[in-house]
Structure 1
Amino acid sequence: MSDGVRQFTVGYDDEGIRVDRWFKRHLPETSFTTVAKWARTGQLRVDGSRVGPGDRLLAGQVLRVPPPEPERVEQRGKPERPPLSDDEAAFAREMVIHKDAAALVLNKPPGLATQGGTKTLTHVDGLLDALHYEAEGRPKLVHRLDKDTSGALLVARNSRAAAAFAKSFSSRTAKKVYWALVVDVPSIDDGMIELPIGKQPGTGGEKMCVDEENGQPARTRYRVIERAGNRTAWVELQPFTGRTHQLRVHMAAIGHPIVGDGKYGGQAAFLTGGISRKMHLHARRIRVDHPDGGEIDVTAELPTHFAESLSQLGFEAMAGDMMPLDVKLPPTRDEKKAFARAHAKSFRKARRGERRGRGTARD
């Protein structure tokens, strides 16, 4: 913007984050003192309304941020990223499985973090400089995958596309399909898990848990694709919210942790018989509306360890791709309440109309 004011669309993976935490994640050069001052003076706004550091953001909202303060930029500005080596650039380009004017889709390997952090020097975000191609701006991450989760990762090639994709995720028109191997076999082949998720106390936010009292709503659908006796099941997972570690927490909570996920399944998450100890969670497919019309619909090939496990267990990969993607979901509790309120309002309005009609007839 001409006056230096910046606008950011809140991403799908930032749903429910505090404003001050958003700055720490995306604009770490901006101190809390500065954020608080901007909020106090009304310069910091969300969808045009004033906001405080402790307020929470929703995906798709537009955050208005004042221009950076000169002295802050000088003292705390981000250091320039070192140039990528030829090997790093080649590695980044090898991940690309879809490219068009608005988007890239990467097949992220397991073990590679999406974004940097403490002691995390190699990550997808740091490799995006190799993926400018003919575009002028730097590609932008739209969502994240856990470090040990592999598969389809959507990247926007410009700000307009990033805003459009964030809206698709927040409105649930985007579809993400994951494949996982889980311990034992669920008793219900097609189920919906609705358990709120929050940070597990004492872990510094490194681990999540089901928190019925203070957690944020979370919803996951699972479907059993194949089973190997009672030992393990190959399942399809569709998240309808974007909580941290959602699929891992939900499957562990119903007694079927993801194979290789020792963080949430403990020792029970590791199978004997030569099955890899790596985590078996893969973002198989992503489908999202394209900003210029049509759809992006991309499937990511399995990493070697996951493909070998399927083969060892006697599963055929094509069976998973035969599952229908678009299935009508049962309404959530909030949707049921909203429908009940709308029905009651309509009923009261109709009754008032009947009473007015009877009064007119008597006259």
Structure 2
Amino acid sequence: MTVAADDAGERLDRVLAERVGELSRSRHKALILAGRVAIDGATIRDPGHRVNAGDSIVLELPPAEDTAIAPEDIALDVVFEDAELIVIDKPAGLVVHPAAGNWTGTLANALVAHCGASLIGVGGVKRPGIVHRLDKDTSGLMVVAKTERAHRALSRQFAEGGRGKALRRGYLALVWGAPERPRGSIDKPIGRHPHAREKMAVRANGRAAVTHWEVLERYPGRDGAPVASLVACRLETGRTHQIRVHLASIGHPLLGDEVYGGGFKTKANQLAAEAKSALEALGRQALHAYLLVVEHPSQGTNLEFRSELPDDLSRLRHSLGAQGARA
């Protein structure tokens, strides 16, 4: 590429980032430091080098390295896929990314196998670009980047959260009890629990977190009072365990949530036999990511995806409704 007059005096890494937008500026910097950039035949290793009008820049892109994530033949429910991204409907029980205790059998392992050569990679490594996560036992829609450009664009959308124009994330939750109001918002910061490090909690010094909710259905118990309800949630931020923590903080933890709803186990006595059996068989928190809207990284169009409740949550919902449901 040739440096235009308007770019004279600019940093080399900045010029490259503007001209080769598929790569991040940090990736360009790493390539310069690795000796992969030359100006008029001379290798330049200084990312801050000031370019001159008419300079001829050659950027050598090494082939993407193979990822350390081993490919595994794990069945995926692919909702959408193109050259830049893939949307999957994650089942409950599937961990998103390898970590201590779960080095194999994860969504990332499955994606490396499924995408194969179409996984161009992130940061020079052939790996899926995870831009958001679902808890192991939360089911539903996830989008994953296949290229560096898509990773940066999607990461920006998720960082902007509810402030962005396109991104929308909707969840369906079955919770204990029922809020008195039909809808509302929870604006409470979330941080690591001070004593139980595997948990999150509402904390004054935590990160900002906002969840909007609306009651869709209320289910009466044996005594006629609402024992549970179906709540739609929309995330404005994306903190770890956000919906679980927020709904528990207003007295309505998720059914099946052993971490944040353990004190509500006796409420199961208010359930009819069919609902109680469905809850016992659930074995996880009753949370499903049913709606995902993102802006396509290169086309600029909005992509909207919806997912029906999986069988276990559908059974629980219908058994609760059999006791009599009202909006």
TM > 0.5:
yes
Say which SS state the counterpart of residue 232 (structure 2) adopts: strand
Q: Does 1:293 align with 2:300?
A: yes
Matching residue of 1:130: 113
Matching residue of 2:141: 152
Distance 2:68 2:107 in 1: 17
Preserved CA contact (<8 Å) 1:98 1:104:
yes
**What amino acid sits opposite 2:215 in the alignment?**
V
Say which SS state the counterpart of residue 157 (structure 2) adopts: helix
Give the direction of change, closer, same or farther, for the CA distance of 1:226–1:62 in structure 2 (3 Å limit): farther
Preserved CA contact (<8 Å) 1:97 1:300:
no
Matching residue of 2:97: 115
Please report the TM-score for the alignment, with normalisation by the length of structure 2.
0.68
1:289-315 deviation digits (Å, cap 9, x = unpaired): 112121111112322110111111228
Preserved CA contact (<8 Å) 1:107 1:301:
no
Distance 2:110 2:119 in 1: 16
Q: Could you tell me which runs of 5 or more consecutive residues in structure 1 were left unpaired when the two chains were aligned.
A: 1-47, 49-60, 70-76, 321-363
1:89-112 deviation digits (Å, cap 9, x = unpaired): 4x13xx211112322111101111
Distance 1:83 1:239 in 2: 32
Distance 1:260 1:148 in 2: 10
Distance 2:68 2:155 in 1: 27
Q: CA deviation at 1:255?
A: 0.2
1:300-333 deviation digits (Å, cap 9, x = unpaired): 2322110111111228xxx99xxxxxxxxxxxxx
Match for residue 86 of structure 2 among 89, 104, 115: 104
RMSD of the TM alignment (CA)? 2.8
Give the direction of change, closer, same or farther, for the CA distance of 1:133–1:297 in structure 2 (3 Å limit): farther
Preserved CA contact (<8 Å) 1:141 1:155:
yes
Q: CA deviation at 1:203?
A: 2.4
Q: Does 1:283 align with 2:289?
A: yes
Matches within 5 A, 1:17-32: none
Q: Does 1:312 align with 2:315?
A: no
Distance 1:81 1:191 in 2: 42
Preserved CA contact (<8 Å) 1:184 1:231:
yes
**What amino acid sits opposite 2:88 in the alignment?**
L
| Structure whose residues are more often helix by fraction | 1
Q: Does 1:203 align with 2:206?
A: no
**What amino acid sits opposite 1:108 in the alignment?**
K
Distance 2:308 2:173 in 1: 13
Matching residue of 2:187: 194
Please report the TM-score for the alignment, with normalisation by the length of structure 1.
0.61
**What amino acid sits opposite 1:226 in the alignment?**
E
Q: Does 1:239 align with 2:217?
A: no
Match for residue 176 of structure 1 among 150, 154, 169: 169
Distance 1:246 1:116 in 2: 21
Say which SS state the counterpart of residue 291 (structure 2) adopts: strand
Say which SS state the counterpart of residue 277 (structure 2) adopts: coil
1:219-252 deviation digits (Å, cap 9, x = unpaired): 0000001111211010000110111111000000
Matches within 5 A, 1:1-363: 66=30, 80-84=68-72, 88-89=73-74, 91-92=75-76, 95-120=77-102, 121-132=104-115, 135-137=118-120, 138=126, 139-172=128-161, 173=164, 174-204=167-197, 206-212=198-204, 214-229=205-220, 230-268=226-264, 271=268, 272=271, 273-276=276-279, 277=282, 278-291=284-297, 292-314=299-321
Preserved CA contact (<8 Å) 2:169 2:289:
yes
1:155-176 deviation digits (Å, cap 9, x = unpaired): 1121111111112222233100
Say which SS state the counterpart of residue 260 (structure 2) adopts: helix
Matching residue of 2:61: none
Matching residue of 2:45: none
Distance 1:168 1:79 in 2: 25
Preserved CA contact (<8 Å) 1:191 1:221:
yes
Q: How many residues align?
A: 243
Matching residue of 2:48: none
Say which SS state the counterpart of residue 143 (structure 2) adopts: strand
**What amino acid sits opposite 2:211 in the alignment?**
T
